[in-house]
Structure 1
């Protein structure tokens, strides 16, 4: 499958896609050798405190962002949106690479709405989600943290970056994993168009399986008989995410 990869990732104040904020974002154009041809990182001062738990993950504290982040969030979002529109919209040979796409696509559109900007129309964008593909290629891998990017990358021969959880490092690993996945025998003969359909189907199946596990098989302290995990891919509709 011949496709131009544009990895995208965000670091955020938390995991609530409707209410948390983006503090770092990265977009890059990756060559077939797994190196950047173009790349840009944005550091954002979101105007709200960064919880200590989130700062421990990505290393971006409230104080650091106040000192180094761009406070003009709307301008940053406009730049990100304009690059995606220019580089990816309606291009059958180009795909955004987003590890766990549901999260980053949904929080980006929530931020765009918050700042009065037009959302990304994902019906005009190809997406490759290495997490969805990994769960399909290696369906029965078990173990706590086995699907984290830092655990998945070495399985495809991709080195783990020292600054993992930085948006640029995560994009580098995700893009390189995607390159290897697209060469995997399981995906031979696929087109990027068909892969959009299959990723939707696979994500729905994976969400249903995970939902069933949490409802019936999870340890008692994690079990939730009423849990609903969204099936939508690559983005959770705003009403469902709220």
Structure 2
């Protein structure tokens, strides 16, 4: 009888995703040492302002859709602030489609790749307009309560010492991030996460650890990794966020920073929707990705068995968007 093995979850390309090298930090050009990460201001009431910002985005998008379906721009609230300067992004997004309205973006940087045991260090939740511009954003910096391994520091640049001195208590951060993501989903705004099972599973287990009601069945979710593998199945090369960003012409500055990765993932999702003229609703796309992710895990299992990286009786878990 076939036994299902948990497919090790990795934070995009920060870690070796192969069974033979799981848990080892991968080398990357930008993994050169600590990098400045803005610490989040402690403000419990700010979550309520995030909720208000989400409602404003949704209402403005609905109003804009009546006159110009492909464009909806909203001013950011004080809780989720708009950057002063952003790189120019030109996207032609079809309407209707999964990215024809505002999309949420979500990313975590962590102490490692074990979603059940490792912890959140930084997080970002934001909203992009259909043209890719940032209309709302908030970042968090947590003290994970455990040491940050050197391999993780080499990826995102945050040391144990800095997290302890500048990070906020993990239970507060987990509660606020969960609330921000939940409000987007409850408003019907799709949340984009690159390799979604990693981020959503990590957030879920952190919630269980700290007594925060978890998001057990996040929906609607858009995972550019799954969608890209489906619509451009035979493209050779890596499928990391950096590789996908380069392929789809999306600028990614400061890879492995939660905010930079979240925004880039959202723009990659928009670029995929535009290039392949996706007309699925966000609900339809979410449902399709469940099957696509399962099929991709089965295909990867076959390949790993063929090259000797898995035993024939083993199988990778393709559950999505939480494993």
Q: TM-score, normalised by structure 2?
A: 0.67
State the Cα distance separating 1:226 from its structure 2 match: 4.8
**Residue 22 (structure 1) aligned with residue 120 (structure 2):** yes
Larger deviation: 226-235 or 172-181? 226-235
SS in 1 for 2:190: strand
SS in 1 for 2:211: coil
SS in 2 for 1:142: coil
Distance change in 2, residues 1:12/1:140 (3 Å)? same
Matched residue, 1:240? none
Matched residue, 2:248? 156
Matched residue, 1:130? 224
Q: In the comparison of the two structures, how many residue pairs are matched? A: 225
- Structural RMSD (CA): 1.5
State the Cα distance separating 1:156 from its structure 2 match: 1.0
Matched residue, 1:181? 272
Partner Cα distance (2:132, 2:115) in 1: 29
The equivalent position to 1:82 in structure 2, one of 165, 179, 190, is: 179
State the Cα distance separating 1:190 from its structure 2 match: 1.2
SS in 2 for 1:33: coil
Larger deviation: 105-114 or 59-68? 59-68
State the Cα distance separating 1:227 from its structure 2 match: 4.1
SS in 2 for 1:122: coil
Partner Cα distance (1:227, 1:168) in 2: 36
Matched residue, 2:4? none
**Residue 31 (structure 1) aligned with residue 129 (structure 2):** yes
State the Cα distance separating 1:224 from its structure 2 match: 4.2
State the Cα distance separating 1:86 from its structure 2 match: 2.2
Matched residue, 1:204? 294
SS in 1 for 2:140: strand
> Do the aligned partners of 1:215 and 1:226 also contact (CA within 8 Å) in 2?
no
Unaligned ranges ≥5, structure 2: 1-96
> Do the aligned partners of 2:301 and 2:310 also contact (CA within 8 Å) in 1?
no
Matched residue, 2:199? 104
Unaligned ranges ≥5, structure 1: 237-242
